[in-house]
Structure 1
Amino acid sequence: MSGVPSGRVHNLINIAAYSVLAGAVLVASRQDILSITPSQALYFTLAFAVGTFLLSPDLDLAEGKVDSKRHWGVLGVLWVPYGMLFSHRGLSHTWLVGPLTRLAYLAALLALIVGLLRYVAPSVTVPAIPQPISVKVVAPLIAGYYLSQWLHLIADGVRPDHGMRRGLKKLRRR
């Protein structure tokens, strides 16, 4: 599509939106309207950056030249199967499930790597995820990641009901 921004433009849109949001949060917290801890700001920022630069919705084009795939360096090849699994602007470009597809794919890759590592080198210890995970950690991570994804979809002109409309069209055809 000719009206769809390039990866570079998507990144610039996200950086600009993040800058405005960070400024607004800073002003609101200085006026005691909002209370954000430095840790929460860091979690949000990290998740937003990962969602913008490493896990963009355009990884469904990973068999081609995609900024997010390039940001992975030599590990970018790991996203080629994802691009084969998901058609561009399909399920991977939905507002709720789309971002989860990339997280699930990444989790599957990590599980495969950990499984292979445990098989090849059983004496190597793999760091565990600390339990329990606090909402004060999870909420900013989810918010940062999903906001980065939604800005991408908005720039692509994908409406929030995109996945639902496609699903309803398929049901009507049957």
Structure 2
Amino acid sequence: MPSGRVHNLINIATYSVLAAGVLVATRQGLLTVTPAQALNFTLGFFVGTFLLSPDLDLAEGRVDSKRRWGRLGVLWVPYGRLFSHRGLSHTWLLGPLTRLAYLAVVLGLLVGLLCFVWPLFPLPALPPPASLKVLLPLLFGYYLSQWLHLIADGVRPDHGLRHGLKKVRRRF
């Protein structure tokens, strides 16, 4: 299993090759990518690489992704206790979703606590729902960064399915 630094280098190298390929394909008229789509993909990819790594399931220890959150890194310790390393958090579809859902729950709890402690705190208005043109590049960038991490760890796409079936077989 590669170190966090190697995972980051793999992702950065892949992003560089992918960006160069998209740039060439766009200039040759083979592909159309708007600047907003490129920015959203890049944002999702780098958030997934540097802040929401699959290794946050090790957040009780020294994990690069947790350290990048600074003092807020402590918020990821419960995530590390909830998910065993290379368990559900290292599945191809649900794993990345667990980190997004966990982050949403933590933010909701923090806003709720803030409203309880300081009832007159002016909360910003919720933004309007994002369109698929915004969400798809963000999610694609995020998921691709996660999948590169899992590939480097040697985790196959059927990882979650195989472990689930083993648990079912043990019960019968």
Match of 2:4 in 1: 7
- CA RMSD of the aligned region, Å? 0.9
For residue 130 of structure 2, what is the amino acid of its counterpart? I
Are 1:117 and 2:114 an aligned pair? yes
Secondary structure of 2:155's counterpart equals coil
TM-superposed deviation, 1:129: 3.6
Scaled by the length of structure 1, the TM-score of the pair is 0.95
Separation (CA, whole Å) in 2 of partners of 1:11 and 1:127: 34
Flag structure 2 segments of 5+ consecutive residues without an equivalent: none
TM-superposed deviation, 1:155: 0.1
Aligned residues between the structures: 171
TM-superposed deviation, 1:31: 1.0
For residue 68 of structure 2, what is the amino acid of its counterpart? H
Instruction: State which of 140, 144, 150 in structure 1 corresponds to 2:147.
Output: 150
Scaled by the length of structure 2, the TM-score of the pair is 0.97
TM-superposed deviation, 1:127: 2.5
Are 1:81 and 2:65 an aligned pair? no
Separation (CA, whole Å) in 2 of partners of 1:154 and 1:108: 28
Match of 2:21 in 1: 24
Q: Percent of aligned pairs with the same residue? A: 77
Separation (CA, whole Å) in 2 of partners of 1:32 and 1:136: 20
Instruction: State which of 134, 142, 153 in structure 2 corresponds to 1:137.
Output: 134
TM-superposed deviation, 1:47: 0.8
Match of 1:43 in 2: 40
For residue 56 of structure 2, what is the amino acid of its counterpart? L
Separation (CA, whole Å) in 1 of partners of 2:78 and 2:24: 44
For residue 11 of structure 2, what is the amino acid of its counterpart? N
